[in-house]
Amino acid sequence: MSELQKHQQQHITLAEESLQKQTTTLNLGPTHPATHGVFQNILEIDGEKVLDAVPTIGYIHRAFEKIAERRPYYQITPLTDRLNYCSAPINNMGWHMTLEKLIGIKTPKRVDYMRVLVMELARIADHLVCNSVIAVDTGALTAFTYVFQWRELIYEIYEEICGSRLTTNMGRVGGFERNFSEVAWQKINKFLDGFPKVMEEFEALLNRNRIFMERCIGAGPISAERALNYGFTGPNLRAAGVDYDVRVAQPYCSYEDFDFKIPVGTTGDVYDRFMVRNGEIWESFSIVKQAMAKIAQLEKDDPAQKNLFYAPESDHYHFPAKEDVYTKMEALIYHFKMVMGEINVPAGEIYHAVEGANGELGYYLISDGGRSPYRLHFRRPCFIYYQAYPEMIKNGLLSDAVIALSSLNVIAGELDA
């Protein structure tokens, strides 16, 4: 026995039950690098094995739903940005589509394709973050640095379209605030030219990487049956083998015009979730390409389409162009009325869902015909996934718990809302 051990035996007194208990309570979070956000997991571990977990959330709860009950409709758009901030445009457009459905606005094809284009770019950006971070959590940083330049380019495209990068506040009821600039189109083309090579490199680094596979296969699994019972959607459900995708099941925004496949896994473990997201990146890339071709075709058939970036019938709900606000009285009055929340939305009750990067993102809106919703509820996919987390990591290793969390892509902003 070493001197240190002797010292410990003589001077350290343990709590009475500690020797019988033989397990450790470990706080993973609320602010731990492995949680990628502010939420806590109280783990009961036996050595490296996770026996039980209790998740605690609510650290960044911002009362979105309550705030929305007082705000005019346009002021709710920035709130939706802060749900899943990795793919903010999808949240925005989901919200605007809900309103359009309630008001009864039918958007033109060009607007639909522009929206699809932006939403699919957002999906690619979101999946790039998620998948490269799974690699970081297994100890591989290289892939992360490769793909982040391309997420950066996607953010530059957003910047060209709307002037901001992360929380974009993109889109308006009926379409977009303004037409895409020439530079925006050029940047999208640059993305289409350069991205496949990098994505191939990313996949070559990880997909058949022995260490990565050993870490991911079998970690944090969930069966299709349990996933459905929990209400899983999106890549996490598809990794378990269920090919449910809102874009196909209940097409919105002209998704029915596009040709794409739904990648599906079998075991619902970390590796399957990773592979499903990789597959989706390729599909989204193909959708962006198709959207570019379709827009070009529309403009070729009818050159007047080039200036169509919102539904003409939505004029009543659409912010006037800035140059008109500065030069025309009518536009100035209209702009003022909209900002002050003078534009009411018809009464009605509606649930509209879009396929967010993370799964089914639904808006349940009850309007009483006033300036703000009577009740607005966000169906946020992260909230659903995270409650299944203890079940998924039980009897696994502590290191599996870390990658299981990043593979679920739990975004704190969306989780807490």
Cβ proximity of 325 and 154 under 8 Å:
no
When the beta carbons of 187 and 379 are compared against other proteins, the nearer one is: 379
By the rule CB under 8 A, 330 interacts with other proteins: no
Structure tokens at 144: 């992360």
Neighbouring C-beta atoms of residue 161, cutoff 10 Å: 26
Q: Is the peptide bond before 30 cis (omega within 30 degrees of 0)?
A: yes
By the rule CB under 8 A, 366 interacts with other proteins: yes
Least distance (Å) between residue 351 CB and other proteins:
6
By the rule CB under 8 A, 353 interacts with other proteins: yes
Q: How many of the chain's residues bind other proteins (CB under 8 A)?
A: 43
Q: Helix or strand or coil: residue 109?
A: helix
When the beta carbons of 175 and 362 are compared against other proteins, the nearer one is: 362
H or E element at residue 289: helix 270-301
Binding mask of the shown chain, residues 227 to 266, with x at each position contacting other proteins by CB under 8 A: -xxxx----------x-x----xx----------------
H or E element at residue 103: helix 88-103
Cβ proximity of 248 and 262 under 8 Å:
yes
Cβ proximity of 264 and 237 under 8 Å:
no
Compute the distance between CA of residue 353 and CA of residue 375 in angstroms, rounded to an integer. Answer: 16
Least distance (Å) between residue 248 CB and other proteins:
9
Binding mask of the shown chain, residues 97 to 126, with x at each position contacting other proteins by CB under 8 A: ----xx------------------------
Neighbouring C-beta atoms of residue 223, cutoff 10 Å: 12
Compute the distance between CA of residue 17 and CA of residue 20 in angstroms, rounded to an integer. Answer: 5
Compute the distance between CA of residue 202 and CA of residue 121 in angstroms, rounded to an integer. Answer: 17
Ramachandran sector of residue 104 (left: φ over 0; alpha: ψ -120 to 50; beta: rest)? left
Contacting other proteins (CB under 8 A), which of 82, 109, 328, 377?
Answer: 377
By the rule CB under 8 A, 49 interacts with other proteins: no
Per CB under 8 A, which region of 2-10, 155-163, 272-280, 349-357 contacts other proteins? 349-357
With CA atoms as reference, report the closest residue to 89 among 204, 169, 201, 191.
169
When the beta carbons of 155 and 244 are compared against other proteins, the nearer one is: 244
Contacting other proteins (CB under 8 A), which of 6, 7, 21, 70?
Answer: 70
Amino acid in position 397: L
Contacting other proteins (CB under 8 A), which of 69, 160, 177, 299?
Answer: 69
Burial of 2: CB neighbours in 10 Å, binned 0-12, 13-18, 19+:
exposed
Contacting other proteins (CB under 8 A), which of 24, 31, 349, 370?
Answer: 349
By the rule CB under 8 A, 223 interacts with other proteins: no
Contacting other proteins (CB under 8 A), which of 78, 383, 398, 399?
Answer: 383
Q: Helix or strand or coil: residue 5?
A: helix
When the beta carbons of 168 and 236 are compared against other proteins, the nearer one is: 236
Contacting other proteins (CB under 8 A), which of 164, 286, 387, 399?
Answer: 387
Per CB under 8 A, which region of 43-51, 64-72, 154-162, 278-286 contacts other proteins? 64-72
CA 402 to chain centre: 20
Residue ranges in contact with other proteins by CB under 8 A: 57-58, 61, 63, 65-67, 69-70, 101-102, 226, 228-231, 242, 244, 249-250, 340, 342, 348-353, 360, 362, 364, 366, 374-375, 377, 379, 383-384, 386-388, 416-417
